[in-house]
Amino acid sequence: MDSLDHPVIITFRPAEQGGKRALAHETRLQFWLFDKPNGAAFCDIEFDLVTGLASSTFAKGCLDWQTVICSHHDFVGVPVDLEQIYERMAGTPARILKVAVHADDVTDCIPVFKLLERARREGREMIAIAMGAAGIATRILGPSRGSFLTYGALETDGATAPGQLTAKELRELYRVDRITEQTLIMGLVGLPVGHSVSPHVHNAAFAAAGVNGVYIPFEVRDAKSFFGRIVHPQTREIDWNLRGLSITAPHKATVMDDLDWVEPAAQEIGAVNTVVVVGDALHGYNTDATSVLKPVIERFGSLRDSRCAIIGAGGAASAALWSLRREGACVTVFARNFQKTNSLAEKFGARYENLEAARFDAFDLVINATPLGTCGQRENETPAISDQLRGARFAYDLVYNPTETRFLREARDAGCETLGGLPMLVQQAAEQFKLWTGADAPIEVMRVAAERALQ
């Protein structure tokens, strides 16, 4: 092979370790001993092959161990003997060690961060990554915690491993080269979180306001384990400068049990969408409730005595219902789960009706507070069609991605005025920014960032 013009990392990985095709052991040996290109800055060689090469007297003249990255990949999960694997890798002559494991939940990042801590204490150069959507935090925070490097794809569809971000996202969105151990860490807790534009909104705000902070998506299945092992200052297993969290579906209600203090409004609503770390305690707030109606009132005017319908019975519906009742509106909640919805309606003095065959012609305002229509598997779904919405004056979808949901299209076909969820997203994010930083948010910067991300 010809010499390379620029220093790169060379790999020749078999399919079982993440490569594109099957490779015989002898073929891999042949490549590293005779065929590798000159000029490569580093050679990423699998642990099983490094072991054999290290014992070969012939390899001594063919490999410069100062350029070797000894790597181990596990695409299934986090091996229980990860520390022992590290110790065996550390016994090779390779200068740099690399471990990439698969994360099913964000708590799987804990052993990865601990491995980085250990390598730094022992003076070893280390790359440690948790693959998959739940491991994104290790890709963003790894370099600030001693990881020799992190990986980014050139294009969105060019990722070489699950959960890999693009180089542009790492540099421009997360500003990975500016993150230090003093950087304030905020993030979004939910399942899923890949559709969210909140990282774009908050990271743009931090950059504009000169805040040394980063906002990261956390894909969380087990919220109690996440809060106990990673979030709460008194029990967390990693040392990081966590300042606050946004909470989205399906965790807005369940996280309340893991907080030390919850504001009265959020207690009444029964849902929290914002967590602030205050000393050794966690405080909970609901910025959805104070933000959800501001865009509507700007367009609609006073909601006193207006007839309003809320579709849904989750955390977003609770926040909308609480806010509407404070505005003096007459509210009816529509959903399919009678027991859950009836309890919610009774709590706030609203009526309940079953969503099946519902009609909204008697309402001034109809709010979709369900996740139906959100970008992804349910994007083509809607809680109501045009025949049901015809006669309603105003339709408001709390879903913001995509900006044009099927619910909004159905409402427009029915002759309704419409409003999407983006203005509310920006407003509640601005209130979160102030809770975390104590400063007023650059709300116009946040709005522009959200619109660009959704394009």
Q: Which residues are part of the catalytic machinery?
A: 252
Tokens of 114: 């601990």
Measured CA to CA, the distance from residue 205 to residue 199 in angstroms comes to 10
The CA–CA distances, whole Å, from 314 to 66, 218, 251 equal 56, 21, 10
C-beta of residue 317 within 8 angstroms of C-beta of residue 366: no
Dihedral pair phi/psi, residue 149, rounded to 5° = -165, 170
Measured CA to CA, the distance from residue 234 to residue 220 in angstroms comes to 20
C-beta of residue 62 within 8 angstroms of C-beta of residue 34: yes
Q: What contacts 24, CB < 8 A, 6 or more positions away?
A: none
C-beta of residue 210 within 8 angstroms of C-beta of residue 178: no
DSSP letter (8 states) at residue 374: -
Taking alpha carbons only, the member of 69, 61, 21 closest to residue 42 is 69
> Beta strand 42-46 with 68-74: parallel, antiparallel or unpaired?
parallel
Taking alpha carbons only, the member of 119, 124, 82, 123 closest to residue 102 is 82
The CA–CA distances, whole Å, from 161 to 170, 404, 412 equal 15, 31, 42
DSSP letter (8 states) at residue 100: E
Q: Which residue has the tokens 């990439």?
A: 100
Measured CA to CA, the distance from residue 366 to residue 61 in angstroms comes to 75
Measured CA to CA, the distance from residue 12 to residue 141 in angstroms comes to 27
Measured CA to CA, the distance from residue 428 to residue 202 in angstroms comes to 11
Dihedral pair phi/psi, residue 375, rounded to 5° = -50, 130
The beta-strand segments (E) located in 16-57 are 42-46
Backbone CA torsion sign across 262, 351, 338, 404: negative
Is the preceding omega at residue 192 within 30 degrees of 0, hence cis? yes
Measured CA to CA, the distance from residue 240 to residue 226 in angstroms comes to 14
Taking alpha carbons only, the member of 273, 300, 259 closest to residue 369 is 273
